[in-house]
Chain A
């Protein structure tokens, strides 16, 4: 039997995907369903962090999700998250006082609930303003909400880590590519 290179690559890919699926045993998280359910539940959210960069076109790696949500929608987000076996590490009142919390399960979702945040150099950003300027991208039959580029750059300045500086370089390059 003659086996061409393409067939070998397909077999290797199948084996890789099988290995991934084995590693996923018990993993109930369906990313598409999660975004669809957030939309259905009317949760006002912005996908921030590196996964937002990925959606826009930057090939960066990340292991978690980061959302910035309207504080009043915390309970609605938690209700959606519970159907994906993600549980909050603080109740909504505590989360509101802290400004952030985490949804934990097979996935980890960092949730920022502060109504506003300011960069180290004093530039403020309010959730409602960022949400009003959001960029909506279609994915999985849902509308995934991202901050506009300028706002996403501001959120990256909040962290002030070396990797945030690299992410800003990616975002500036995306801006140039979009011109």
Chain B
């Protein structure tokens, strides 16, 4: 059986679709109980705060990547 949904619809269901209060709490609890996930998140934070030690540097990082994504999205094909 093929999935006829668009990429945007699939992404919405995975990341954006609001859950019931119970389901959301279950997901939070499961994420916090996942030791491998927690270790990975801790590593990401350690890298990010080491590489960008100030709030300003981190905000600039986010801004730079937002603008890069927009530039890529508006770049004409070919």
Contact B19 A20 (CB under 8 A): no
Let me know if B47 and A120 touch, CB within 8 A.
no
Task: For the complex, give the distance between the alpha carbons of A84 and B54 in Å.
Answer: 25
Contact check, A169 vs B31: say whether CB atoms are below 8 A apart. yes
Contact among A23, A61, A144, A164 for B74, CB-based, below 8 A:
A23
Q: List 23 A-B contacts (CB under 8 A).
A: A16-B68, A23-B67, A23-B68, A23-B70, A23-B74, A24-B71, A51-B62, A55-B55, A57-B48, A58-B44, A62-B62, A120-B20, A138-B54, A138-B55, A138-B56, A140-B59, A144-B55, A161-B24, A162-B17, A163-B16, A166-B31, A168-B32, A169-B31
Q: B78 near A: Cβ within 8 Å?
A: no
Given A31-B59, A161-B15, A173-B41, verify A58-B48 contact (CB < 8 Å). Answer: yes
Tell whether A61 pairs with B62 under 8 Å between CB atoms, given A20-B68, A161-B18: yes
Asked if A63 and B69 sit within 8 Å, CB to CB, the answer is yes
Report the minimum CB–CB distance from A122 to chain B (whole Å): 9
Interface: B42 (CB within 8 A): yes
What is the interface size of chain A, counting residues whose CB is below 8 A from a CB of the partner?
44
Beta-carbon contacts of B61-73 to A below 8 Å, as 1s and 0s?
1111111111110
> Which positions in B face A, CB cutoff 8 Å?
14-21, 24-25, 27-28, 31-32, 37-38, 41-42, 44-49, 54-56, 58-72, 74-75
B interface SS class: helix
Determine if A169 and B44 form an interchain contact, defined as CB atoms under 8 angstroms apart.
Answer: no
In chain A, positions 150-179 with a C-beta closer than 8 Å to chain B are: 157, 159-166, 168-170, 172-174, 176-177
With the chains together, A59 CA to B46 CA distance in Å? 10
**CB-based contact B55/A170 at 8 Å:** no
B18 to chain A, nearest CB (A): 5
